[in-house]
Amino acid sequence: MCTYHTEHLELRDSSGKGADGWFTLREASVYYDHPVHAPAEHTVNVDFLNRSLGPSARVAVELDPGSARELARALLEAADLAASHSGQGH
Amino acid sequence: MVGCMSHDMPGDLEAQTITIKGHGGDEIEAYLAEPRGSGPYGGVVVIHHMPGYDRSTKEITRRFAAMGYVALMPNLYHREAPGAAPDDAAATARAQGGVPDERLVGDVAGAMAHLKSFPKCNGKVGTVGYCSGGRQSFLSAVSLQLDAAVACYPGGVVHGAPPGSPLSFAPLIGRSKDLSCPLLGLFGEEDKFPSQEEVATLDKELTSHGKDHEFHSYPGAGHAFFDVDRPSYRVEAALDGWKQVTAFFGRHLGS
């Protein structure tokens, strides 16, 4: 199925490396849909974007749902650690 | 030495990227595939799936030309992402909320006008679309005067976009009375978007308005069963689906 479900996040002070090197990331689209490349019918997909730089300013990942959960857990742990080191809250 | 055969052998075709006038007179990119013979041939507007104006939908466009139709696929994401890779263009379009319905109808109308201007076109034009393009094929058929329409696993016709979707997919079932042409619908029984409940609801609505339609739902198939390079491909459903499309367009778009 095509779920069309998409969450958009604004990103701050973030960068990604795309086909033309590093660039500033402004937003992320997170959705569950058919992948372009991953060998599965559906994947959890994330597009990191900077639309002001054009459509090619994109870092894309297509994740197996289990892998996406593990990644989310690792991201939360790392973000908690970063917050404790810098003294910042969530 | 290899000789050159006559230009109207079955399967001989030419394909190229052209510019057409779409909604609001905008110039947009389109992929044209035409048989090499002199015709007359029916015209087919191919409406690409949500992943975009990509290699697989260009292959489908060429297949229609090999079947004896002048086939034209507008790049629905041209405005958002001219010249971009298809997957980047699709991501940009998704981030912006998808293709507005009004603009889609204008782009299909532009493609129709382009096909009808072809000397080798017999003046009959149909649409075929996949996934979101299936819904857009139905949208075209209730908005424009067509000769035939094929909708392959069209999500959102009955209920619109699901909750949480940023896409502006309004339900279209209320416009069934405006269907201008025979409709062929191809569905996977395991698909959830559209579900078999939605297929039955649309079938009943079209029947209540006396609209000529033909639906086929395939067991063991879900969404995107025509996609040969994805795990969703189902060979039996795809083979029969192509057979149904061939017969349907032959009846309604043939010379």
Q: What is the band of B170 on the pLDDT scale with cuts at 50, 70, 90? A: confident
**Residues of A in Cβ contact (< 8 Å) with B224:** 2, 34, 41
The reply to whether A1 falls in a domain is: no
For the cut 60, the answer to whether the pLDDT of residue A89 exceeds it is no
Would you say residue A57 lies in a domain? yes
Structure tokens at A18: 């795309």
Read off the DSSP letter of residue B9.
S
Find, among B114, B163, B111, the residue nearest to B133 by Cα. B111
Q: Is the pLDDT of residue B7 over 60?
A: no
- DSSP annotation of B167 reads S
- Write out the DSSP string of A23-81: EEEEEEEEEEE--SSSSSS-EEEEEEE-GGG-TT-EEEEEE-HHHHHHHHHHHHHHHHH
With beta carbons less than 8 A apart as the criterion, state whether B142 and B61 touch.
Answer: no
**pLDDT tens digit sequence for B197-244:** 999 999 999 999 999 999 999 999 999 999 998 889 999 999 999 999
Q: Is B106 helix (H, G, I), strand (E, B) or coil?
A: helix
In angstroms, what separates the C-alpha of A23 from chain B's closest C-alpha? 16
Is the pLDDT assigned to residue A47 strictly greater than 90? yes
Rounded mean pLDDT of A19-38? Answer: 92
Collapsing DSSP to helix, strand or coil, B79 comes out as coil
The model's confidence at residue A2, banded by pLDDT at 50, 70 and 90, is: low
| Percentages (nearest 5) of helix, strand, coil residues in chain B | 35, 25, 40
> What's the gap in Å between the CA of B155 and the closest CA on chain A?
7
For residues B216 and B212, give the distance between their C-alpha atoms in angstroms, rounded to a whole number: 14
Can you give the length of chain A in residues?
Answer: 90
When comparing pLDDT for B83 and B42, which is higher? B42
Calculate the alpha carbon distances from B246 to B148, B239, B240, B254 in Å. 12, 11, 10, 10
Share of chain B above pLDDT 70, in %: 94
Closest by Cα among B244, B239, B171 to B202: B171
Mean pLDDT of B139-150: 98
How is B123-166 classified by DSSP, letter by letter? Answer: EEEEEEEETHHHHHHHHHHHHS--SEEEEES-TTTTT-SPTT--
Q: Are A1 and B155 in contact (CB under 8 A)?
A: yes
Of these ranges, A71-75, B4-8, B96-100, B251-255, the one predicted with the greatest mean pLDDT is A71-75
B223 vs B94, B101, B214, CA distance in Å?
19, 22, 18
Beta bridge partners of B32: B16, B72
pLDDT of residue A88: 58
Cβ of A4 within 8 Å of Cβ of B87? The answer is no
**Cα B237 from Cα B111, distance rounded (Å):** 29
Confirm whether A68 is domain-assigned. yes
Residue B249 has pLDDT above 70, yes or no: yes
Supply the range of the domain harboring residue A37: 6-86
Domain tally, chain B = 1
Q: Are B11 and B33 within 8 A, CB to CB?
A: no
Residue range(s) defining the domain that contains residue B174: 15-253
Residue B5 is assigned to a structural domain of this protein: no
CB within 8 Å: B165 and A4: yes
Provide the number of structural domains found in chain A.
1
Region A76-80: mean pLDDT is 95
**Closest chain A C-alpha to B76 CA, distance in angstroms:** 14
ipTM, 2 decimals? 0.73
Q: Which chain A residue has its CA at the smallest distance from B188's CA?
A: A1
Task: Indicate the average pLDDT of chain A.
Answer: 90
Partner-chain residue, chosen from B84, B91, B131, that has the shortest CB–CB distance to A29: B91
Contact list, A54 vs chain B (CB under 8 Å): 81, 84
Q: How confident is the model at residue B1 (pLDDT cuts 50, 70, 90)?
A: very low
Mean of per-residue pLDDT scores for chain B: 93
* Residue A1 clears pLDDT 50, i.e. is over it: no
pLDDT one-digit tens code per residue, B61-107: 999 999 999 999 999 999 999 989 999 999 988 888 889 999 999 99
Q: What would the pLDDT profile of B18-39 be if each residue is shown by its tens digit?
A: 999 999 999 999 999 999 999 9
Question: For residues B229 and B218, what is the distance between their CA atoms, to the nearest angstrom?
Answer: 19
Asked whether residue B1 is domain-assigned, the answer is: no
Q: Can you tell me the mean pLDDT for B186-194?
A: 94
The closest CB to that of B92, out of A31, A36, A55, belongs to A55
Collapse the DSSP code of B74 into the 3-class scheme (helix H, G, I; strand E, B; otherwise coil) and give the result: strand
Is pLDDT of B17 > 80? Answer: yes
> Contact B216/B189 with Cβ under 8 angstroms?
no
User: What is the CATH classification number for the domain harbouring B175?
Assistant: 3.40.50.1820
Q: Choose between B13 and B161: higher pLDDT.
A: B13
Partner B contacted by A10 (CB < 8 A): no
